[in-house]
Amino acid sequence: MFWRYFWENKLAVAGGVVVVTLLLVSLLAPYIAPYDPSYIDVKNVLVPPCKEHLLGTDQLGRDVLSRIIWGGRVSLLVGFVAVGIAVAIGTLLGAVAGYYGGWVDGLIMRFVDIMLCFPAFFLILAVVALLEPSIWNIMVVIGLTSWMGVARLVRAEFLSLKEREFVLAARSQGASDLRIIFSHILPNALGPVFVAAILGIGAAILTESALSFLGIGVQPPTPSWGNMLTAGKDNIEIAYWLSLFPGLAILITVLGYNLLGEGLRDALDPRLRT
C-alpha cells in the first residue's frame, strides 16, 4: 500500500528520480566529468557554453560542468553527514525523553526549546566564524544545530508507542529498558525520522551553499556550488553562466529532496493521503 501511494504521487517520483540521478552523478564524477575541475587553462578564460565546454569556463579557465559535478559530491557529503549527526542526536534524546517522561522529559524538552530560540543560520554563522573554515567543521556544526525537530518527532512517537500492547508484553517478560527502546519501540518510530532526514538533507545542502557563498564554508580550490556562486557574482554582467548553472544545481537538488520527502510523508501517514 505504501508503494502504491508513493508511485501515484508523480511529484514524489520525480523527486526520487532527481535524488537518484544526483547520487549516481556524484559517485561517478571521476568517470563522467569531462575535465579536471582544478585544471587552469588561461587560454580559455570565461568561455561561454560551447561544444568543448557545455556550461562554459570560469575566470581561471576551469570547466564549469566538471566543477558542478565534483561540487555535487561535496554538497551531498555535507548533507548526508550533517543529517546523520542530527538524526543520531535527535533520536537518542527524543527516545529517552519520550520513554522515561517526567523530569527527564521536562529537562530535555526545555533544552530543545532553548536551542530553538536561537536563529539556526546565525548560530551556525557565529560558530563557523570562530572555527577554521573546513568541510568537516561545517558538517559537524550543521548537525549539532539541526537535531531539535528530530528529537520532538521521536519523543512524540515514543509517547504514543510505549503504552502499546507489544511494549507492555515485552516489559512483562523482563525486557530491559534498552532492549525495549532499541528493539521494540524505535523500529516502529523510524518512519517520521526517515522523512525528516530526507528533508534535512536538502536543508543542509542549502545551508552549506550559503556558508560557502559567504566565504566561510568550503574553501577554494575545492569546488562547491556555494563558492562557485561567489566567483560568479564578480563576473555576472559578462558571464551569466557562472552563477546560473550552480544556482540551478542547488535549486534542483533541494527541490528534489523536498519533493521526495513530502511524498514519503504522504505515503507513510494515512491521514495525509488524498
Q: Give tens-digit pLDDT for 76-132.
A: 888 899 999 999 999 999 999 998 888 999 999 999 998 888 887 787 777 777 777
Query: What residues contact residue 21 under an 8 Å CB cut-off, 6+ apart?
Result: none
Q: At what angle do helices 148-161 and 190-213 cross, to 10 degrees?
A: 180
Instruction: Flag whether 108 is in a domain.
Output: yes
Distance (Å, rounded) from C-alpha 95 to C-alpha 87?
12
Instruction: Flag whether 12 is in a domain.
Output: no
Share of the chain above pLDDT 70, in %: 98
Domain containing 198 equals 63-272
Residue bearing the bigger pLDDT, 274 or 142: 142
Determine the average pLDDT of the residues in 40-61. Answer: 87
Residue 268: pLDDT over 80: no
Residue 272: pLDDT over 60: no
Instruction: Flag whether 18 is in a domain.
Output: no
pTM of the model: 0.86
Long-range contacts of 108-114 (CB under 8 A, 24+ apart): 108/151, 108/155, 109/155, 112/148, 112/151, 112/152
249 — pLDDT class (breaks 50, 70, 90): very high
Instruction: Flag whether 58 is in a domain.
Output: no
270 — pLDDT class (breaks 50, 70, 90): low
187-219 residue pLDDT tens: 888 888 888 899 899 888 888 888 888 888 788
pLDDT of residue 269: 67
pLDDT of residue 251: 92
**Mean pLDDT for the chain overall:** 86
Residue bearing the bigger pLDDT, 130 or 28: 28
Q: DSSP letter for 182, please.
A: I
pLDDT of residue 109: 92
Determine the average pLDDT of the residues in 223-248. Answer: 86
Distance (Å, rounded) from C-alpha 150 to C-alpha 166?
24
Q: Which three cell numbers stand for residue 58?
A: 570560469
Residue 263 sits in a domain of what CATH number?
1.10.3720.10
Instruction: Flag whether 120 is in a domain.
Output: yes
Instruction: Flag whether 263 is in a domain.
Output: yes
How many structural domains are present in the chain? 1
Query: How deeply is 134 buried, as exposed, middle or buried, from its count of CB atoms within 10 A (0-12, 13-18, 19+)?
Result: middle
The one-letter amino acid at 37: P
Q: Which three cell numbers stand for residue 23?
A: 547520487
Instruction: Flag whether 135 is in a domain.
Output: yes
Distance (Å, rounded) from C-alpha 17 to C-alpha 241?
25
Instruction: Flag whether 67 is in a domain.
Output: yes
